[in-house]
Amino acid sequence: MASITYDKATRRYAGSDRPAVDALDLEIADGEFLVLVGPSGCGKSTSLRMLAGLEDIDDGAVWIGDRDVTQLPPRSRDIAMVFQNYALYPHMTVAQNMGFALKIAGRPASEIKQKVLEAAKLLDIEQYLDRKPKALSGGQRQRVAMGRAIVREPQVFLMDEPLSNLDAKLRVSTRTQIAALQRRLGVTTVYVTHDQVEAMTMGDRVAVLSDGLLMQCDTPRALYDRPANAFVAGFIGSPAMNLVTAKLTADGAEVGGARVPLTRETIAAADGDTVTLGFRPEALEVATGDGTLPIKVELVEELGSDAYVYGKLAETDAADNKSNVVARVDPRTPPAMGDTLNLRIRPDELHVFSATSGLRLP
């Protein structure tokens, strides 16, 4: 097992005006499960491929343990990769697919058979060892691809959106299996996904990327409770955090006709006459009196245990998409479409960001 270090690692593509990955500084501890997450084109898969040796590194370095692997070919890095398309040989059985890398390495047949059987037991695919991949479901094929990585006993597992080809229910069960398996094996794992729910439920830490830059890397709980900037705040969480532009006043901010109190420290740190207020759907409560946000209900989404109201600030220009608000309400007494709800933000659950830089204000 080994730690991983990205030391200002940069990747530029010809013809692009900005790096695909820009000076990535990131340390991953031995045995840690780290998830790289972000929207399409943010550089997460490129970062993984740089670690695997499948992409050149234009500046900086990548270390696995105490070895600088920046210039090493993939086969010399002691890594195993799991892809989203399984990449199984169709003419081989499951057992042959899982043991192929060991066969190429010249390992004895008895050792290959033992390691394949041990991995198959871990993944509960013993009964499929004599089948061809075409006879397996998508979830079973993904477990075979996992088994092929496990038998190699690498220092590092790399996983590039391995669940994206599975249906929703199977994704939930398979991600649980992968997370539990990684903790049993204790192998350092870097996992790429665009699904922030997947990231939050699987990773020891989550690194959020945008436009090739690392926005924040922390535990799932810290990302949710204290996002470093408005991008992380809006990306992490489902439904996403509400982000509304508000005009500063002498003692707070004004939004939707309501005044939201802010501390002097926050007001002093603002770099303009507006700020971005962030509040999660569950941070809103139905209230009466002054200081409430009037929300005109456009859609009610009932999920059984929860209900979410989607609407607009009633006193904001309807064309202003930033006035969209999502609130969690009592699922047993949801409002009707067209109603106006008066909501208050719980003071200890308000986040304030700079309207220009997007950075979190104190």
What CATH number did the domain enclosing 11 receive? Answer: 3.40.50.300
Looking at the structure, tell me whether residues 50 and 116 fall in a common domain: yes
Domain around 320: 240-354
- Please report the pLDDT score of residue 91 as a whole number: 94
- Please report the pLDDT score of residue 316 as a whole number: 52
Strand partners, 281: none
Looking at the structure, tell me whether residues 292 and 335 fall in a common domain: yes
DSSP string, 161-172: STTTTS-HHHHH
Distance CA 46, CA 91 (A): 31
Residue 65 lies in a domain: yes
Looking at the structure, tell me whether residues 136 and 32 fall in a common domain: yes
3-state secondary structure labels for all residues of 194-258: CCHHHHHHHCCEEEEEECCEEEEEECHHHHHHCCCEHHHHHHCCCCCCEEEEEEECCCEEEECCE
Nearest to 355 by CA among 281, 294, 235, 269: 269
Looking at the structure, tell me whether residues 90 and 188 fall in a common domain: yes
Looking at the structure, tell me whether residues 61 and 40 fall in a common domain: yes
- Please report the pLDDT score of residue 318 as a whole number: 39
Q: Which of 209, 231, 253 is the last residue of a domain?
A: 231
Residue 360 lies in a domain: no
- Please report the pLDDT score of residue 67 as a whole number: 94
Residue 295 lies in a domain: yes
Looking at the structure, tell me whether residues 66 and 212 fall in a common domain: yes
Residue 57 lies in a domain: yes
- Please report the pLDDT score of residue 5 as a whole number: 97
Domain tally for the chain?
A: 2
Mean pLDDT in runs of 10 for the chain (362 residues)? Answer: 93 92 96 95 95 96 96 93 86 94 91 92 90 90 90 92 84 87 92 92 96 96 96 92 91 84 90 92 86 88 91 62 80 88 89 94 91
- Please report the pLDDT score of residue 256 as a whole number: 76
Residue 36 lies in a domain: yes
Encoded tokens for 310: 């989607």
Q: Is 164 within 8 Å of 84 (Cβ atoms)? A: yes
- Please report the pLDDT score of residue 315 as a whole number: 61
- Please report the pLDDT score of residue 159 as a whole number: 93
Distance CA 223, CA 236 (A): 7
Distance CA 189, CA 82 (A): 11
Q: Is 148 within 8 Å of 97 (Cβ atoms)? A: yes
Looking at the structure, tell me whether residues 280 and 166 fall in a common domain: no
Looking at the structure, tell me whether residues 247 and 162 fall in a common domain: no
- Please report the pLDDT score of residue 124 as a whole number: 86
Residue 60 lies in a domain: yes
Residue 159 lies in a domain: yes
Looking at the structure, tell me whether residues 137 and 286 fall in a common domain: no
Residue 361 lies in a domain: no
pTM for this entry: 0.89
Looking at the structure, tell me whether residues 181 and 221 fall in a common domain: yes
Encoded tokens for 81: 């990769």
Q: Which of 197, 212, 231 is the last residue of a domain?
A: 231
Q: Which of 186, 208, 231 is the last residue of a domain?
A: 231
Looking at the structure, tell me whether residues 204 and 260 fall in a common domain: no
What CATH number did the domain enclosing 297 receive? Answer: 2.40.50.140
Looking at the structure, tell me whether residues 214 and 256 fall in a common domain: no
- Please report the pLDDT score of residue 321 as a whole number: 41
